[in-house]
A and B are shown apart, each in its own frame.
Chain A
């Protein structure tokens, strides 16, 4: 448990610092959280230093092999110690650095989020879990770089970092999945032991390249190095923490972590070594010419990351050992140097080395600390940087796979070391010496002691490790390297003096050469001008991004030009293409083996009528009234087809829906133009005809393919259980209200939502119907046909009774709530049609949306009822009752559900039609006066 808490605690409690307004409280809570994690980590120390790897694991999503499992290997321990140790120093430093107007609580929240994610990376046992933390660091680093979100460079830098590291992360996910599938497990312990399996697998090269992409982008290796200098727009505590000590090390951490399983092949060497070497030299060269203090440090960081990559690429155990040692050393001096750069920036108002000079007399302590840090960075003896750098130079001299070109590696390394000395001297000399300070935005002075303290601690460590490596660093480096290398760990004695050897000679060359370089810097600056213009990847990056955005806009404009016709055409065209594509090149027979059945004359005639009226609808669509009549014919024949093919329920539903649909269309037509103008061009019309024939032909072919193949149905279960389980013989109805009652509930909910949407659209909306027909004749005054009016009144109770009958018998014979609802709605609408809205509205003064809502409520309550009795939602039960006159009668709880369906259907259909009938402004006025008159009459009667 303790183990999982180390990363999870900062993640889960990250919100706490932002709860406070007080800046000290913000810092104290953040420090307390980080400190607790540190204590938890230290509690694992005894086991780790004994060579054990404590593990703890919970199953999370077994289906994708994702476990919440953590491990503390020696290497992980070292990293976690760095993260928390430097994290604590950063918390203190940031308390002084972040300005009062900035939201400090939020800063600490982001910082803790990052800390937890980073700890998650180094302590994960499960590769997928590691991936999740990896992405979290990308996100939290985005938030931290963009902390000053009002600055455009901060936003751009944050975006660039997110795109590059996030993109690399995507590649890495793929690599991890491949790796996990090759090994058959995502647990690191298993993976690390599976070197032979992985190397032998034919996907090893791909896996390696994908994982390296992730690592190289995160660690800013060439050619992805450019995001790191731009991330310097972040507040300096962030640069010190993320961009020197921790996050950018995640890439090399991963390389080292998977070193036992991925390294050792020629491919590994030939990718990792050159990338490391190029990054090392290129970035060291760039660093010399950066005028921005943080820019210099950023390139120096990239260069050191390249150094570590190069070491891991070389692949010998001692090289890996050196890499681990250098990770530790670099984190110490570089975090400190960043803090010092931040102090200089904070106290002088600038970090431009062209403006800074002669600060020694104002800030001697800061100056001393900077000198110590730069000495470590340059690799001056007696500092920690010297130790690992000399070991590195010694490693480069060893034989490697470049064969006769092996000398390239030590040459490049020495050149980079020369550059490193040069930029280290520059950082000290340009800032603290040269001419006296002048023209600075602020009067420089020493910072508050609390701000300097973290840098003092780190510099003290640099010196102590440099002087007493065996006591200060060796135990941790040994256990860390040991967890990577296992039995192959070299028994190496870190020492300042190894005697007069080649490595020492190279170190001396670097120190002297670097000094000479610095003295000759002016000449070099000129030669460098072209490079500073072209070597920044930012331009390329921005060009790619803006190209993508531009392309995206263009595509959007092409697809989404605001024309519904184009959308529908594209949609249908796409469906046709996608639907047809699988058949192209397939030689499977399209028509199945079943024989076709014969056609009887009546069906044939009906089919022909259907085709005729369908085509007529399309042809005459401009004469809208004709089109409606034809459409009505189509609907009627469809309902006949349902009867013909054994679906009486569907026929009943279809015919009643048909009635209301046609009424609806007629009402709509009353308010819309009677004709459609001809406006499609010839070409457009042909395009549409081709498209629609393709769609229709495709459906015909598909239907034929389906109908001529044997099929297997799950209907047997419903047919068998309808009577014994659902208590009804009409299987369709039993399915609706019982077996699939939940679906029906969803469907009436949709119906009710549509009703409500219509209600909302038409509420307080008035539309003036045209006063004349298409030819300009005025309408005659509306008189309602007396015979129809007289007949509909007695018809109504009869029809209602019929609806009750249909409703009640629905469970056993064709019928049910849907159909009964539609019948009632048709009858009520008939009253409106025969007598007019002015007459009917006051007599049927019920709110249809209330009926509709009640329907839904009843249906849901039926379901909840079975819950209360202890059955699953919507379980139905039934019993038989003896009714006087009617006889034995079945009562099922499903009938209450069906009642809900009935009410919802009546309510929504009536809502639509009545609302639609009353939006004609002339009628609406008449209705409101008549309702008012009615009210007055009633009041008068009282």
Chain B
């Protein structure tokens, strides 16, 4: 399970980074979103992989998963959305002002 999880995480990071390195705004946004997922997962799993142990107090349960990373990740998800939204709007505004969706505002294609 740990290996599967780590592999998934690595793939998400790799693809996120690759997309972040593209030259147009839209793939960069996609990459940022992917990276956001991966980072949230990473933080979340620092509380270890636990099955069927939600951190909701009940009298008949003895074990719970670690609630602290969850609380951190919950806000991180929402802030991640805000960040993606901001970058999207920035990209739109930039393409409106510069007439190009290249990350550096370059007008013509090099290729």
Task: Point out residues on A near B: beta carbons under 8 Å.
Answer: 562-565, 568-569, 572, 596-599, 603-604, 607, 610-611, 614-615, 617-618, 621-622, 624, 627-628, 631, 634-635, 638, 641-642, 644-650, 653-654, 657, 660-661, 664-665, 668-669, 671-673, 676-681, 688-689, 691-693, 695-697, 699-701, 703-704, 706-708, 711, 713-715, 718-719, 722-723, 729-732, 735-736, 740, 743-744, 747, 750-751, 754-755, 757-758, 761-762, 765-767, 812-814, 818, 822, 905, 908-909, 912, 915-916, 919
Contact = CB atoms under 8 A, between A and B. Distances in A.
A911 to B, nearest CB: 9
Contacts of B83: 754
Nearest to A612: B11
A718 B47 CA distance: 14
Nearest to A753: B82
Contacts of A671: 92, 95
Interface residues of B, number: 86
Contacts of A642: 44
A417 to B, nearest CB: 68
> Looking at chain B's contact residues, is the secondary structure mostly helix, strand, loop, or mixed?
helix
B89 A818 contact: no
Nearest to B83: A754
Contact of B2 (A704, A723, A730, A909): A704
Residue with the highest number of chain B CB atoms closer than 10 Å, among A597, A661, A729: A661
Contacts of A732: 55, 67, 70-71, 74
26 contacts: A563-B103, A565-B22, A565-B103, A603-B4, A617-B19, A618-B14, A622-B27, A634-B12, A642-B44, A648-B54, A660-B81, A676-B26, A679-B110, A691-B17, A692-B14, A692-B21, A699-B13, A707-B45, A715-B64, A719-B64, A722-B57, A732-B71, A744-B75, A818-B74, A909-B81, A912-B89
A653 B78 CA distance: 8
Interface of B: 1-30, 33-34, 37-38, 40-42, 44-58, 64-68, 70-71, 73-75, 77-86, 88-93, 95-96, 101, 103-104, 109-111
A723 B4 CA distance: 35
Contact of B89 (A645, A699, A735, A758): A758
A186 to B, nearest CB: 42
Contacts of B92: 668, 671-672, 762, 767, 916, 919
Contacts, number: 309
B56 A908 contact: no
Nearest first, the 4 A-B pairs at minimum CB distance are A696-B14, A700-B10, A692-B17, A618-B15
Given A654-B77, A672-B25, A758 B86 contact: yes
Contacts of A607: 4-5, 7-8
Secondary structure of the A contact surface, majority rule: helix
B62 to A, nearest CB: 11
Contacts of B13: 692, 695-696, 699-700
A599 B4 contact: yes
B17 A646 contact: no
Contacts of B79: 747, 750-751, 754
A731 B64 CA distance: 10
Contacts of A813: 56
A703 B5 contact: yes
Contacts of B55: 646, 715, 719, 730-732
B78 A747 contact: yes
Contacts of A747: 75, 78-79
A649 B69 CA distance: 12
B71 A735 contact: yes
Nearest to A750: B79
B65 to A, nearest CB: 4
B88 A714 contact: no
